[in-house]
Homo-oligomer: A and B are copies of this chain.
């Protein structure tokens, strides 16, 4: 039997029983069984190197042994699993550890909200509280932003395919150009002019929401100066600054929060994906105490209390107790950056452009359709890597932060082989 036939057979259940909306199971047509660290295995025991990390949900790798131990122990002891937002020991310990390990050392003062266990829930809660606090209805977001798929989050998301999927016009949001959007034009000058001019047609917004590095939008990394400028615009006009750190946070760019190097102090921060440590669903919204003006239960949800996730989340925070982890990420980021530059130089046919920072990097391939072919080829060769960007033109590298040099090098070698193969066709 050919691979195609095998795969078809293997994927039959999904094709027959699951909705047409399924996506990853199309590009990676296999059934995964096991995973550890930066590796996955499928039903044929084929090994894959993971340069995808659950779209950023597995910064600490798959199945960290200490996290496994903690949750097995908890389950064995009949620890309460589901608890909405009732008090539980894991919730309490997560709150205390997050305060001690993350907030206090960074001199940050936030209340922690559990908005439901997904990134879009965190964004929806951030938008709600910003609107409530300011009494304004619109929110400024940026070109190629991705903030989630529920109607509130989708209204501040750029992608036209996803927006169109809403089935209704999306309102209360204004798209402004992200950093470096139009060549040689300063995007903050536009934004500022629109705010200054009472005839611009753009009302003073409740908030500006941004990702410091746009993941789905094409690994667009804003410059630190741009972030500072945006923060100063927020301060000048009394606009709340929301950083959606769902993908770029939890160490992805080298620091726990992606905005740390910019020295800015957002009013609201959205975290999800890797905040749970192990890939179990969890999200939090950080809100400056002055803006924590919720009524009890004004935003709620059934799965705010995922205690298994709290346990692995707490364990994951131990990575941040010293500077070591951050340093490691930066070293690996440099290795990755150098390799990307080498590849771009070596394969001019790619018309490649380096993108991103930390372990959130990519190659924008300005040769139509090539990026997708490279990722497909890489999958066959045992590397999980996907595209992003408005035209799926960016090969995106999101390895687990715990990957070692060997894994990184090996994955990049597969990638290079895949490029050679694709270009040779």
Contact = CB atoms under 8 A, between A and B. Distances in A.
Contacts of A55: 84, 302
Interface stretch (A168-176, A230-238, A329-337, A416-424): A168-176
Interface in A130-175: 130-132, 137-138, 141-145, 148-153, 155-169, 171-175
B150 A121 contact: yes
Contacts of A181: 193
Contacts of A161: 198, 295, 298
Interface stretch (A112-120, A315-323, A361-369, A405-413): A112-120
Interface stretch (A88-96, A255-263, A343-351, A370-378): A88-96
Interface stretch (A19-27, A221-229, A352-360): A19-27
Contacts of A105: none
Nearest to A176: B201
Contacts of A190: 177, 182, 185, 190
Nearest to A22: B85
A206 B167 CA distance: 10
Interface residues of A, number: 152
A272 B82 CA distance: 13
Interface in A55-79: 55-58, 62-63, 68, 71-72, 75-79
A80 interface: yes
Contact of A34 (B22, B79, B169, B301): B79
A57 B33 contact: no
Most chain B CB within 10 A, of A18, A186, A199, A292, is at A199
B96 A13 contact: yes
B18 A113 contact: yes
A172 B169 contact: yes
Contact of A297 (B23, B63, B148, B175): B23
Contacts of A113: 18-19, 21
A278 interface: yes
B280 A391 contact: no
A124 interface: yes
A151 B151 contact: yes
A257 to B, nearest CB: 17
B92 A63 contact: no
B76 A72 contact: yes
A254 interface: no
A14 B246 CA distance: 23
A199 B128 contact: no
Contacts of A301: 118-120, 148-149
A54 B28 CA distance: 36
A22 B121 CA distance: 15
A111 interface: yes
A75 to B, nearest CB: 5
A190 B189 CA distance: 12
A23 B244 CA distance: 25
Most chain B CB within 10 A, of A21, A35, A160, is at A21
Given A151-B152, A181-B193, A89 B33 contact: yes
A281 interface: yes
A87 to B, nearest CB: 4
Nearest to A183: B189
Given A20-B296, A190-B190, 20 more contacts: A17-B95, A18-B111, A18-B113, A19-B292, A19-B294, A24-B84, A35-B79, A62-B80, A68-B78, A72-B75, A143-B194, A144-B197, A152-B166, A157-B201, A160-B200, A165-B298, A174-B175, A175-B194, A185-B190, A308-B308
22 contacts: A21-B296, A21-B299, A24-B83, A31-B87, A33-B79, A33-B80, A34-B77, A57-B303, A62-B81, A81-B278, A117-B117, A121-B149, A132-B165, A137-B167, A137-B168, A149-B300, A156-B201, A160-B201, A161-B295, A163-B201, A199-B218, A280-B280
